[in-house]
């Protein structure tokens, strides 16, 4: 049976439809907003795999280029592996729905979103997230939703829900917010150094719209929902629970309350686990897995209890302290810029490479093709956490963390006309124990300044955590890996001393209040200012000069109607200049000419050559020219690149000239004065210069005689 429900959001109708498409899925919803349509399906296996101890959720988001009336570029005319945009979109669907499955539900579950129609105004990722929640809500799959998602922008001080791409171009903030009817579940976005209060106001505005879509989904469920499967709660035998507690609780308390490194803690935990398993092996054979689960929950309870009661964390810090930080600059001599940022047991080695326009990244998708000249790539090798792992390519987590750090830094990156270089930042995480993405932000900012990139200001990032039990809670500054794993929130905030530039929040409980978010934001500001102080002590401003190994890149602006002249027929002129000066020349549609060379002197010569090509000759100006052709009546002189004038035989000397060849041959250099422009033709004179020189000499002789 076809069911359709609608609500108005941001001046457009958002509709949910089921019963017409993909009817064999457990849940299938077609979401429409304007002329954009996304089909989202949810399917879960009937049984969990034997001994499955985690929830295997897979979320896929795919954009069909046909949705925008396009055919994929390149040789292969079909969609391939997901693009970075599709990966990031899948993540903002996955993150808010994952905490809303019952903890004992372990059946393999897959959510797939296909963008089938695209109107070019609103990004379809928001529709896919709404569709994922709606498909799960009406299905028989256990789900504690619904959850909804909106994008928010601000233009001229006015909040806009689901702004168009055109509105986002002039917005000072872009954030994606997901939430239930009573709390926020996920936040992700970027801003132009906004205040904490501005961000909170944006979240409040977003939540008002979220509630409308949650209500719509509940009505949709009432009309089309299936009966939910019953999830059997896993019950641990009270006897084994008691025996493990009696045997391990005090010992585990000593471990949790000791200040240990990450490796030492893992080693102590493993030792204790083996002791308990050995002691109880005869009484409870084949119970290693259950014992491991009990000990995991024991560590979680002890860690959370100590923080809530004593304000002391695993590494001995209080809830507001930042771990020790060290900064080293220029550690890699042949890179264009580098920095090693270490915070506790998290370390990022970040490099900056400067390139030309040819190095820009071309991005193809549903939107018109565009290029990126500021890129950040984040790598998380397995050795950073002391593990062995396969290195098969970039994972979703690496794409997401890199994108967050890139958004944080690009807000203060120089604009094209001041710094026409393409910039690539690479963050290699060498150690990780808590928020390597925020370490990347700090290291990225430092390495950009080390490279001499004229950044407007330094940017730092910090990750905040949360421990919440009933009415008690503690916000944690600069969380450890265990505090992320065993805690309730991971809230990353990056920005300058003036304001926030990027943020990302994920929670593992069913939402948090605005009061806790306000506390976390202001506590994050304190931590950020502390880190910025250390960074500014290391390098307070960009270096005055670029690395000698960076390409020399100069820029000159020309009129757009002169671009064809610089390029020349079939590219002959521009190719000739590139060979002559040993440079690389790129011309933009707006008339910006970028000249790149390994030798700065060559780049400067090429720039001067182009300036002369494009400048208009003026009567009365003196030019150093070259004889290009000898005629009986005079000589043709190239006074500027591509611009010739006639030096008539009568204008060669102050005395009579019988033959031009008595004075010049082709290729000779000559200084001339432009005396007339008529019908686009230039008349030159050497005679006028000689007369001026004679007059000056006579004046000098008269002055000497008078004296």
Residue 547 within a domain? no
554 neighbors 607 (Cβ within 8 angstroms): yes
Q: How many CA atoms lie within 13 A of 181 on its CB side?
A: 10
444 shares a domain with 570:
no
Confidence of residue 612 (pLDDT cuts 50, 70, 90): confident
184 shares a domain with 89:
yes
Residue 315 within a domain? no
Residue 232 within a domain? no
206 shares a domain with 304:
no
| Domain harbouring 561, CATH code | 3.30.1370.10
63 shares a domain with 165:
yes
Distance CA 313, CA 257 (A): 8
- What percent of the chain stands above pLDDT 70? 98
Sheet holding 325-329, edge to edge: 325-329, 337-343, 346-355, 422-431, 374-379
Number of domains in the chain: 5
Among 27, 288, 318, residue whose Cα is nearest residue 146: 27
Phi, psi of 468, rounded to the nearest 5 degrees: -130, 125
Which among 224, 248, 279 is the end of a domain? 224
pLDDT in tens, 38-65: 999 999 999 999 888 889 999 999 999 9
Residue 233 within a domain? no
559 shares a domain with 480:
no
632 shares a domain with 608:
no
384 neighbors 432 (Cβ within 8 angstroms): yes
Which among 176, 199, 224 is the end of a domain? 224
252 shares a domain with 210:
no
Residue 680 has pLDDT above 90, yes or no: no
Distance CA 194, CA 243 (A): 54
Residue 704 has pLDDT above 70, yes or no: no
Which among 262, 287, 310 is the end of a domain? 310
Residue 320 within a domain? no
Task: Give the helix ranges, DSSP H, for 76-158.
Answer: 84-97, 125-138
As given in the structure block, the two tokens for residue 619 are 């009567």
Average pLDDT rounded to a whole number, residues 276-295: 88
What pTM, to 2 d.p., does this model score? 0.85
Distance CA 231, CA 217 (A): 22
Distance CA 143, CA 152 (A): 26
149 neighbors 128 (Cβ within 8 angstroms): no
Residue 327 has pLDDT above 70, yes or no: yes
Residue 342 has pLDDT above 70, yes or no: yes
Residue 149 has pLDDT above 60, yes or no: yes
The distance of Cα 149 from the centroid of its chain, to the nearest Å, equals 21
| Domain harbouring 165, CATH code | 3.30.230.70
- Residues with Cβ within 8 Å of residue 537, at least 6 apart in sequence: 327
CA angle at 533 for the pair 530 and 535, rounded to the nearest 5°: 115
Q: How far is CA 693 from CA 646, 686, 688, 689, 697, in A?
A: 22, 11, 9, 6, 6
Residue 284: per-residue pLDDT: 86
642 shares a domain with 531:
no
Residue 546 within a domain? no
The long-range contacts involving 323-332, CB below 8 angstroms and separated by at least 24 positions, are: 323/434, 323/478, 325/531, 325/534, 327/446, 327/534, 327/535, 327/537, 327/538, 327/539, 329/446, 329/447, 329/450, 329/538, 329/539, 330/450
Among 618, 617, 567, residue whose Cα is nearest residue 591: 567
243 shares a domain with 207:
no
Among 682, 678, 690, 620, residue whose Cα is nearest residue 652: 690
436 shares a domain with 360:
yes
As given in the structure block, the two tokens for residue 583 are 């440079």
Q: Which domain holds residue 138?
A: 3-224
Residue 211 has pLDDT above 60, yes or no: yes
Residue 701 has pLDDT above 70, yes or no: no
175 shares a domain with 52:
yes
Residue 700 has pLDDT above 80, yes or no: no
Residue 707 has pLDDT above 60, yes or no: no
User: How much is the mean pLDDT over the chain?
Assistant: 91
Residue 407 within a domain? yes
567 shares a domain with 471:
no
Residue 683 within a domain? yes
| Domain harbouring 653, CATH code | 2.40.50.140
């Amino acid at each position: 049976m076809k069911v359709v429900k609608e609500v108005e959001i941001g001046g457009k109708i958002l509709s949910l439809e089921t019963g017409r498409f993909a009817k064999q899925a457990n849940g299938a919803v077609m979401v429409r907003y304007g002329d954009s349509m996304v089909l989202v399906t949810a399917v879960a296996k009937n049984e969990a795999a034997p001994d499955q101890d985690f929830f295997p959720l897979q979320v896929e988001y795919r954009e069909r280029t046909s949705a925008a009336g396009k055919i994929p570029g390149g040789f292969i005319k079909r969609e391939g592996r997901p693009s970075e945009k599709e990966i990031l979109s899948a993540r903002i669907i996955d993150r808010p729905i994952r905490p809303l499955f019952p903890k004992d539900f372990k059946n393999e579950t897959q959510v797939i979103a296909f963008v089938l129609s695209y109107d070019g105004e609103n990004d379809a990722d928001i529709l896919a997230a709404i569709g994922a929640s709606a498909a799960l809500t009406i299905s028989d799959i256990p789900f504690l939703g619904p959850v909804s998602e909106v994008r928010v922008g601000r233009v001229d001080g006015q909040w806009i829900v689901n702004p168009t791409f055109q509105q986002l171009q002039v917005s000072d903030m872009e954030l994606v917010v997901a939430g239930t009817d009573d709390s926020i579940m996920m936040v992700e976005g970027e801003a132009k150094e906004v205040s904490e209060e501005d961000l909170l106001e944006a979240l409040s505005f977003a939540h008002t719209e979220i509630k409308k879509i949650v209500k719509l989904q509940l009505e949709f469920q009432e009309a089309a929902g299936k009966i939910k499967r019953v999830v059997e709660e896993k019950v641990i035998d009270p006897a084994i629970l008691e025996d493990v507690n009696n045997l391990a609780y005090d010992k585990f308390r000593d471990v949790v309350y000791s200040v240990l490194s990450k490796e030492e803690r893992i080693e102590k935990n493993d030792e204790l686990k083996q002791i308990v398993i050995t002691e109880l092996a005869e009484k409870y054979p084949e119970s290693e897995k259950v014992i491991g689960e009990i000990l995991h929950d024991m560590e979680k309870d002890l860690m959370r209890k100590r923080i809530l009661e004593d304000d002391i964390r695993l590494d001995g810090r209080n809830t507001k302290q930042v771990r020790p930080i060290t900064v080293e600059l220029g550690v890699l001599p042949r890179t264009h810029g580098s920095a090693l940022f270490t915070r506790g047991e998290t370390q990022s080695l970040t490099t900056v490479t400067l390139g030309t326009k040819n190095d820009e990244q071309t991005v193809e998708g549903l939107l018109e093709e565009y290029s990126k000249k500021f890129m950040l790539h984040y790598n998380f090798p397995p050795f950073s956490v002391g593990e062995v792992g396969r290195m098969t390519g970039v994972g979703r987590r690496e794409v997401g963390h890199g994108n967050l750090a890139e958004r944080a830094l690009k807000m203060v990156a120089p604009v094209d006309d001041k710094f026409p270089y393409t910039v690539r930042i690479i963050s290699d995480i060498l150690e990780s124990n808590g928020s390597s993405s925020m370490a990347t932000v700090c290291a990225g900012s430092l390495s950009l300044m080390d490279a001499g990139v004229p950044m407007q200001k330094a940017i730092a990032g910090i990750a905040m955590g949360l421990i919440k039990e009933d009415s008690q809670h503690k916000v944690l500054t600069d969380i450890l890996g265990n505090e992320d794993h065993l805690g309730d929130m991971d809230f990353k905030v990056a920005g300058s001393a003036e304001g926030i530039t990027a943020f990302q929040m994920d929670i593992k409980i069913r939402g948090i209040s605005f009061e806790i978010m306000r506390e976390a934001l202001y506590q994050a500001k304190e931590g950020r200012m502390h880190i910025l102080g250390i960074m500014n002590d290391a390098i307070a401003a960009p270096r005055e000069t670029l690395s000698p190994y960076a390409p020399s890149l100069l820029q000159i602006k020309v009129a757009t109607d002169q671009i064809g002249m610089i390029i020349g027929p079939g590219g002959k002129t521009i190719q000739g200049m590139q060979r002559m000066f040993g440079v690389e020349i790129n011309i933009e549609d707006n008339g910006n000419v970028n000249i790149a060379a390994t030798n700065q002197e060559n780049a400067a010569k090429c720039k001067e050559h182009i300036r002369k090509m494009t400048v208009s000759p003026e009567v009365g100006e003196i030019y150093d020219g070259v004889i290009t052709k000898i005629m009986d009546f005079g000589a043709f002189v190239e006074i500027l690149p591509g611009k010739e004038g006639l030096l008539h035989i009568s204008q060669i000397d102050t005395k009579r000239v019988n033959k031009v060849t008595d004075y010049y041959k082709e290729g000779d250099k000559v200084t001339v004065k432009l005396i007339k422009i008529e019908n686009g033709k230039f008349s030159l004179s050497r005679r006028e210069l000689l007369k001026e020189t004679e007059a000056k000499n006579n004046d000098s002789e008269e002055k000497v005689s008078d004296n």
